[in-house]
């Protein structure tokens, strides 16, 4: 799982791809044409009745899916997948792809592999030495996990796409590296220019955001650590979190189009502005909490601000520096072209083969990947096994199911992004939903995030699956009683493979996982041994996630009417608008959005009535396949209405105006409006003229959101004005 890339990005960060701008308009026009062609070609034409072999007509097949779960098979899949580290673009990674492919083929599923040639980043050399004030000699600091032999195959901890470089300067602690953290340092008289910053992961900051902000402040290099709790440090002390510092998603050299390995493909040069802006200008590397403690404990200077005192290391230091400790930092990496492999299994739909239900998980890992991501890979293969069993019993889905094993997610969702970009028109007009599982099991507790029209079906499905930690209750009951805050989260952040589907293609999406966090994230200790000892000893949580994931796929593929509820979406948008209105304090009108939401709500109510009428008529024996398909297309395509061809200002690749990454806020909705509010804020001393200009920009972004909601309402109605 790639950590969030966009929770808090600096204003200067942009992702611009002019070549992708027309795609959303083209998709929208094509889909309206498709609906019109149905009406012209099939008017008064009788359609054959639906196949009797769907799960909707045969509920026992759902029981077959649930009852055929096997913790032994999932455990076995995971053990094989984690025998060796398998970093994307390497031979072990190719072997992992072959393992997934072989399993799909052994289940007699239609299987294929799509390769891409992309720019990946690898470690060559790194070192970090400290010059402490009480020592006359330089002290080498450990940069890798203890106990790993040179023959382990585990890559030394590094930040992919970090520039190579050396730096020498005083150490300074910058907390999470946020703007507010640097303000706190400045108010204490701390000058960070020319220093090597020590940053703690978290605070809503991606690795890229930390390094970019540090460069803005004059820092010459950055080391980052992840703080673990006492139990984690007892069992897995010395773990170092690898990761990427690339800005954005997808291959840097092919922004907006697929990096196909076959045929002629345009690739931008490394000196192209669109490429350069995705790379940080200051070198960085990860270190362990133990190494960070050595450095931080030696600092003098200003005291740590009291509101930073939130971690296990705080008791061991209370000064931020700079110095007197000096750090000598060296990192050398290599960016080079590599082949990545996406593996697919396709189960053709019996009635609507041109409608795609997509289930995906990435396969590549920084090290062994038992949690991240191969707990999900093992669950995906097991779903394939269970679907195959159902097919042998006579089942075929009504719509096509596509099982996807992505590559190079850890470098920035590259495999999934290249595939979405390459298949954008087909996905935009034919994809029903995307259901993602990255880390299937990290620990206890079920978590789900979704676009709001899928809330109801998530509840329905979790009521059918037994909770793995309380066998006398359903997963839903345990989930509901143990969750603080909203039951279902949203998908504004960018941390896994749902991002290209939702944020770029406008496909309704779900993300599922067990466990909020785990202490061996991106370290050499993310192994099968850790999973068996701590994560899921009996693999019951794996079975639960696979159960929810697979059942969602069955409902999306087989429910005669798609289980989408846009009244939930309208309600969620109303809540967002209420929160936005309070933040704006009446300076800017949100009326355009509230008016558009009313249109969406009216359309959603009409659709609900239409659904009920169709179900009654079908129960009376009427053949209504065409009407049902047209209704389903409207349900499927309404999400595309939230896309805007211009995208989010400064990050045009991200087209969704309700959910997407915002630069300066954790609000999680209307990213363009939020950017206008916080990214262009004015200080008290600036002129009223500047404030008015900002309000004009905010109002424009509000109108853009309103028009997006109107487009969604129009698609849901399916009628021309």
Split at pLDDT 50, 70, 90, the class of 92 is very high
In what helix (H) or strand (E) does residue 75 lie, and over which residues does it extend?
Answer: helix 71-81
Strand 196-200 vs strand 221-225: parallel, antiparallel, or unpaired? parallel
Cα(522)–Cα(532) distance, integer angstroms: 17
What pLDDT is attached to residue 1? 72
Average pLDDT, the chain: 90
What pLDDT is attached to residue 314? 63
409 catalytic residue (yes or no): yes
Split at pLDDT 50, 70, 90, the class of 290 is very high
- Residue 142, judged by CB atoms within 10 A of its CB (0-12, 13-18, 19+), counts as middle
DSSP conformation class of 47: -
Split at pLDDT 50, 70, 90, the class of 663 is confident
Split at pLDDT 50, 70, 90, the class of 688 is confident
What pLDDT is attached to residue 17? 35
What pLDDT is attached to residue 667? 84
- Residue 27, judged by CB atoms within 10 A of its CB (0-12, 13-18, 19+), counts as buried
What pLDDT is attached to residue 310? 72
577 vs 517, which has greater pLDDT?
577
Split at pLDDT 50, 70, 90, the class of 618 is confident
Cα(458)–Cα(476) distance, integer angstroms: 9
Taking residues 503-509, what's their average pLDDT? 98
Taking residues 309-321, what's their average pLDDT? 78
Contact between 573 and 597 (Cβ < 8 Å): yes
Catalytic residue among 409, 421, 618, 664: 409
- pLDDT of 191 higher than 50: yes
**What string of DSSP letters covers 649-678?**
TTBTT--BSSSS--SS----S-HHHHIIII
Asked whether the whole model's pTM tops 0.85, one would answer yes
Q: 450 phi and psi, to 5 degrees? A: -160, 160
What pLDDT is attached to residue 58? 53
Cα(237)–Cα(228) distance, integer angstroms: 9
Q: CA dihedral defined by 309, 313, 317, 322, rounded to 10 degrees?
A: -80
Contacts of 598 (CB under 8 A, 6+ apart): none
- pLDDT of 296 higher than 60: yes
Taking residues 400-413, what's their average pLDDT? 98
Q: pLDDT digit string (tens) for 247-257?
A: 999 999 999 99
- Count the Cβ atoms, other than its own, within 10 Å of residue 402: 18
- pLDDT of 148 higher than 70: yes
Ramachandran sector of residue 641 (left: φ over 0; alpha: ψ -120 to 50; beta: rest): alpha
- pLDDT of 406 higher than 80: yes
Split at pLDDT 50, 70, 90, the class of 232 is low
Split at pLDDT 50, 70, 90, the class of 46 is very low
Cα(534)–Cα(531) distance, integer angstroms: 5
- pLDDT of 7 higher than 60: no
Query: To the nearest whole percent, how much of the chain has pLDDT over 70?
Result: 88
Ramachandran sector of residue 485 (left: φ over 0; alpha: ψ -120 to 50; beta: rest): left
Cα(552)–Cα(450) distance, integer angstroms: 12
What pLDDT is attached to residue 237? 63
Which residue shows structure tokens 């289930």?
359
From 91-100, 374-383, 669-678, the region with the lowest mean pLDDT = 669-678
What pLDDT is attached to residue 351? 95
- pLDDT of 545 higher than 80: yes
What pLDDT is attached to residue 624? 86
Cα(73)–Cα(401) distance, integer angstroms: 22
Contact between 550 and 476 (Cβ < 8 Å): no
From 376-380, 391-395, 688-692, the region with the lowest mean pLDDT = 688-692
- The per-residue b/e assignment along 177-198, b for 16 or more CB within 10 angstroms, e otherwise, is bbbebbebbeeeebebeebbbb
Q: Which tokens in the block code for residue 714?
A: 């129009």
Highest mean pLDDT of the ranges 138-152, 297-311, 597-611, 689-703: 597-611
Q: Among the residues of 535-676, which ranges form H helices?
A: 540-558, 566-584, 591-619, 625-637, 671-674
- pLDDT of 367 higher than 50: yes
Taking residues 436-464, what's their average pLDDT? 97
What pLDDT is attached to residue 356? 98
Which residue shows structure tokens 């133990």?
290
Cα(307)–Cα(330) distance, integer angstroms: 32
Q: Taking Cα atoms as reference points, which of 226, 364, 349, 367 lies closest to residue 290?
A: 226
Split at pLDDT 50, 70, 90, the class of 517 is confident
Split at pLDDT 50, 70, 90, the class of 664 is low
Highest mean pLDDT of the ranges 23-37, 166-180, 309-323, 621-635: 166-180
What pLDDT is attached to residue 316? 78
Split at pLDDT 50, 70, 90, the class of 38 is very low
- The per-residue b/e assignment along 262-300, b for 16 or more CB within 10 angstroms, e otherwise, is eeeeebbeeeeebbeebbbebbbbbbbbbbbbbbbebbe
Q: Among the residues of 125-219, which ranges form H helices?
A: 179-187, 207-216
Contact between 199 and 223 (Cβ < 8 Å): yes
Contact between 405 and 109 (Cβ < 8 Å): no
Contact between 428 and 506 (Cβ < 8 Å): yes
- pLDDT of 680 higher than 60: no
What pLDDT is attached to residue 4? 53
What pLDDT is attached to residue 145? 93
Coil vs helix vs strand at 88? coil
Contacts of 289 (CB under 8 A, 6+ apart): 225, 226, 227, 228, 233, 237, 239, 312, 313
What pLDDT is attached to residue 135? 86
DSSP conformation class of 641: G
What pLDDT is attached to residue 682? 45
What pLDDT is attached to residue 660? 95
- pLDDT of 576 higher than 90: yes
What pLDDT is attached to residue 234? 52
Cα(12)–Cα(17) distance, integer angstroms: 16
- pLDDT of 557 higher than 50: yes
Q: 488 phi and psi, to 5 degrees? A: -110, 125
What pLDDT is attached to residue 19? 37
DSSP conformation class of 679: I
Cα(709)–Cα(602) distance, integer angstroms: 12
What pLDDT is attached to residue 692? 87
What pLDDT is attached to residue 687? 67
């Amino acid at each position: 799982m790639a950590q969030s890339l966009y929770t808090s990005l600096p204003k200067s960060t942009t992702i611009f791809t002019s070549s992708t701008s027309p795609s959303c308009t083209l998709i929208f026009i094509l889909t309206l044409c498709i609906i019109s062609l149905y009406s012209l070609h099939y008017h008064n034409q009788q359609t054959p009745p639906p196949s009797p072999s769907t799960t909707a007509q045969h509920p026992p097949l759902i029981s077959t899916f649930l009852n055929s779960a096997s913790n032994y098979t999932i455990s076995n899949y995971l053990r094989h997948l984690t025998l060796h580290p398998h970093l994307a673009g390497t031979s072990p990674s190719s072997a992992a792809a072959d393992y997934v492919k072989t399993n799909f083929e052994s289940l007699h599923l239609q299987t294929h592999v799509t390769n891409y040639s992309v720019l990946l980043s690898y470690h060559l050399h790194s070192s970090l030495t400290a010059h402490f004030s009480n020592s006359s000699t330089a002290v080498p600091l450990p940069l890798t996990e203890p106990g790993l032999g040179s023959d382990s195959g585990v890559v030394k901890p590094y930040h992919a796409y970090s520039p190579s470089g050396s730096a020498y300067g005083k150490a300074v602690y910058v907390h999470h590296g946020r703007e507010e953290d640097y303000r706190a340092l400045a108010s204490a008289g701390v000058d960070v220019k020319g220093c090597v910053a020590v940053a703690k992961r978290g605070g809503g900051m991606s690795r890229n955001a930390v390094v970019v902000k540090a460069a803005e402040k004059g820092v010459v290099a950055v080391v980052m650590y992840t703080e673990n709790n006492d139990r984690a440090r007892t069992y897995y002390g010395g773990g170092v979190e690898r990761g990427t510092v690339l800005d954005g998603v997808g291959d840097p050299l092919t922004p907006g189009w697929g990096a196909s390995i076959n045929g002629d493909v345009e690739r931008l040069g490394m000196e192209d502005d669109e490429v350069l802006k995705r790379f940080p200008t200051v070198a960085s590397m990860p270190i362990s909490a133990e190494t960070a403690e050595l450095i931080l404990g030696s600092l003098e200077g200003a005291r740590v601000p009291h509101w930073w005192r939130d971690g296990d290391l705080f008791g061991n230091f209370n000064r931020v520096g700079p110095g007197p400790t000096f750090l000598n930092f060296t990192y050398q990496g290599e960016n080079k072209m590599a082949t990545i492999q996406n593996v697919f299994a396709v189960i053709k739909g019996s009635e609507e083969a041109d409608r795609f239900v997509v289930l995906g998980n990435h396969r590549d890992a920084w090290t062994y990947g038992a949690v991240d991501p191969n707990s999900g890979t093992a669950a995906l293969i097991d779903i394939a096994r269970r679907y195959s069993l159902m097919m042998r019993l006579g089942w075929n889905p009504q719509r096509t199911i596509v099982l996807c094993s992505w590559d190079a997610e850890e470098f920035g969702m590259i495999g999934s992004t290249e595939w979405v970009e390459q298949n954008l028109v087909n996905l935009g007009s034919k994809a029903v939903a995307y259901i993602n599982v990255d880390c299937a099991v990290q620990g206890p507790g079920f978590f789900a995030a979704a676009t709001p029209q899928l809330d109801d079906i998530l509840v329905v499905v979790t009521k059918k699956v037994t909770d793995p930690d309380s066998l006398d209750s359903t997963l839903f009951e345990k989930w509901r009683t143990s969750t603080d805050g909203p039951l279902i989260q949203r998908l504004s952040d960018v941390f896994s493979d749902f991002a290209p589907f939702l944020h770029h293609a406008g496909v309704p999406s779900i993300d599922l996982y067990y466990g909020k966090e785990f202490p061996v994230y991106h370290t050499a200790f993310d192994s099968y041994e850790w999973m068996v000892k701590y994560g899921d000893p009996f693999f019951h949580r794996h079975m639960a996630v696979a159960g929810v994931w697979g059942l969602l796929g069955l409902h999306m593929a087989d429910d005669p009417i798609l289980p989408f509820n846009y009244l939930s979406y309208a309600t969620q948008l109303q809540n967002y608008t209420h929160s936005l209105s309070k933040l704006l304090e009446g300076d800017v009108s949100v009326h355009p959005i509230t008016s558009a939401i009313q249109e969406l709500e009216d359309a959603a109510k009409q659709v609900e009535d239409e659904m009920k009428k169709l179900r009654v008529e079908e129960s009376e024996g009427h053949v209504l396949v065409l009407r049902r398909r047209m209704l389903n297309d409207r349900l499927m395509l309404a999400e595309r209405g939230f896309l805007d061809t211009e995208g989010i200002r400064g990050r045009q690749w991200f087209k969704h105006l309700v959910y997407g990454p915002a630069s300066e806020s954790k609000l999680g909705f209307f990213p363009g409006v939020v950017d206008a509010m916080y990214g262009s804020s004015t200080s008290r001393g600036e002129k009223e003229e500047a404030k008015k200009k900002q309000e004009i920009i905010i109002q424009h972004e509000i109108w853009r959101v309103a028009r997006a909601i109107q487009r969604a309402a129009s698609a849901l109605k399916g009628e021309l004005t």
